[in-house]
Structure 1
Amino acid sequence: MPKKRRRISAFFKILTVLTVACGVLVAGGYYVIRSVQRVELTPPPPPSGCTLTAAGDTDELEVEQAANAATISGVAFGRDLPPHAVVVAFATVWQESKFRNIEFGDRDSVGLFQQRPSQEWGDPEQLMDPVYSSGEFYDGLVEIAGYEEMPVYEAAQAVQRSADGFAYDQHERRSRTMAAAFTGAEGPAVTCWYDTDEAGEADVEAAQAEMDRVFGTDGALPAAESRTGDPGWAMAAWAVANAERYGLTSVEYGGQRWSAAEGIDGWTEAPGEGGGAAAEDQVVLR
């Protein structure tokens, strides 16, 4: 056989081997790709947060914002104030701090309401306490004659004496939705969730003590005839909004249960045994 023909034959043999090898590699690569596609990844847990549904609207808040809103609303129960007072307080805080308890502000303003020690609202440490600062705001509000009939922004401005009092008006609708939820007027309207793996040990005793301080109670519900709203559901909303802070795993009231493990799904019917019945007339924290 001439050398040229032998070279061509050898070339085709090499080409055949390479083709088979490439086919194996391609097939192997295809297999690897399909294998990766079939892996089911567990989605990461959602970041902590809160949702409330009331007055025909749904709103989302950060946990810190919800916890402060629940406290501002709770303090109104201790003073037996109307829901309008809570709406005015909420609109004020949206404008002043967005429900973050900040240590700074214009000149010497601090806290949720951005109250100034130089204007005799209290000392900075007191004003950083949401219970105290809320009480001071409400004390100023009730001194305004006819505040219950005033537009929200006018009532807020009468207390705050801000440079731009009309700015409070933009927060009225959202504040009404929040007030309906946090005063308990619409039942289990507030739910929150947080990463339970990062939470510390539950401190139910501390949570109960703080809830009593906020609502001005002593281990019992405020008066059922409170004109602020439904005290049981308001306290349940406070407990849920503060669950991350105190490591609470569940809250029960009115035959309903919220659990930290399933907080993003909201409230569900409490079981008939194991505490469900007890939660009909008291807020049970665990």
Structure 2
Amino acid sequence: MPEPSPSRKRHGRLLRRGAAFMVLLAVAGYLAVQYVTGGTGTPGCDVVSGKGDGARYEFTPEQAVNAATIAAVGTGRGLPEQAVTIALATALQESGLRNIDHGDRDSLGLFQQRPSMGWGTAEEIRDPIYAAGVFYEHLVKVRDYTRLPLTVAAQRVQRSGFPEAYAKHEPDATLLAAALTGRSAATLTCEGRPGATRAAGADAVRDALLRDFGRDALQPAAAEVSGEKASPSPTPSVIKKDERTVELPVRADEDSGAGRGARERGWQLAHWAVANASDLHIKRVSYAGREWVAGNTDSQWRASGGAGASGAGSGVSPVRIVTSR
């Protein structure tokens, strides 16, 4: 059999190299899309429907921290759950719920806000608290935003080139909002594998709570808390039991205007702690007779048998957070 000519050999090598290059481009493109839309990385966290209809959404610890912050800022402003759902769907579309430092032109952060368009400085926009707050400031100016289709309300804030893109994230955002506002009890779990992004211990938990909820939001009111009369205090109601443990007395959000009771407030704080478990090295969270423990293979909330063990909806006991170190 005659040997292939040198030119045919070169042509074959070029074809193989071209094919390999196209495969690499396809893989890179897939990974880029998955990164932006929140599809990369080990999920580690899971939120399920409180309706028992089987709906669920898997996401990463990084996404969990940012989602919990967005929810805390929204409820802290007395906004309804629908506002939080709109904000979460927007962040899922714009950044995959990641606080990224790049985007189209000068877009940055969770909501891909642009300094050149008056959203704030680059440093401000990269702060999740600020970014969520300024998003809500624009959202509440949209007339009847709670009655509009989610994608329409989001688009009137964002002015995106893809106005229908937010709709596909509504189911996942709805599950997240129900858990992270506390309406849906014991529905958010994470594996809680320790990360290395923040300090650990009771002081770190306290600082993170103040960051997301603010001093005013954590101050106790003159109301019954765990059977005892609480008095207004200039210090947040984060009771440090020891170097690894904090307790959060739960009260209704009476001043927020959102009509949220103690039960919702407690589950918001409990789910917030689970969402931040990897960052803050949290190993155990308990509330209303339920307990979450980091590292369980199923990461479920289980009956704790302790104070407030009458069920997930009792909302009597404080939220107890225990760190690993």
- Choose which of 222, 225, 249 in structure 1 pairs with 2:283: 249
Q: Deviations over 1:148-178 (max 9, x none)?
A: 1111011101111111211111211221122
The residue aligned with 1:133 is 131
> Residues 200 and 97 of structure 1: is their aligned pair in 2 closer, same or farther, counting only changes over 3 Å?
closer
List runs of 5+ in structure 2 lacking aligned partners: 1-41, 219-235, 238-249
CA-based RMSD of the aligned residues comes to 2.5
Larger Rg: 1
Number of residue pairs the alignment of both structures matches: 238
**Deviation (angstroms), 1:215:** 2.2
The residue aligned with 2:46 is 51
Q: Deviations over 1:177-211 (max 9, x none)?
A: 22112211111111101435989873222222222
In 2, are the aligned partners of 1:180 and 1:186 still within 8 Å (CA)? yes
Report the AA paired with residue 109 of structure 2: G
- Residue 231 (1) aligns with residue 226 (2): no
Q: What pairs up with 1:147-226 in 2 under 5 angstroms?
A: 147-196=145-194, 202-216=200-214, 217-218=217-218, 219-220=236-237, 221=250, 223-225=252-254
> Residues 66 and 201 of structure 1: is their aligned pair in 2 closer, same or farther, counting only changes over 3 Å?
closer
Report the AA paired with residue 131 of structure 1: I
**Deviation (angstroms), 1:262:** 2.2
Structure with the bigger RCO (C-alpha within 8 Å, sep 6+) is 1
The residue aligned with 1:29 is none
> Residues 140 and 197 of structure 1: is their aligned pair in 2 closer, same or farther, counting only changes over 3 Å?
closer
Normalising by the residue count of structure 2, what TM-score does the alignment of the two structures yield?
0.67
Partner Cα distance (1:131, 1:194) in 2: 23
List runs of 5+ in structure 1 lacking aligned partners: 1-46
The residue aligned with 1:44 is none
SS in 2 for 1:91: helix
Q: Which segment is superposed worse, 250-259 or 211-220?
A: 211-220
Structure with the higher helix share, 1 or 2:
1
Among all aligned residue pairs of Structure 1 and Structure 2, give the percentage whose two residues are the same amino acid. Answer: 41
**Deviation (angstroms), 1:276:** 7.6
Normalising by the residue count of structure 1, what TM-score does the alignment of the two structures yield?
0.76
Report the AA paired with residue 223 of structure 1: A
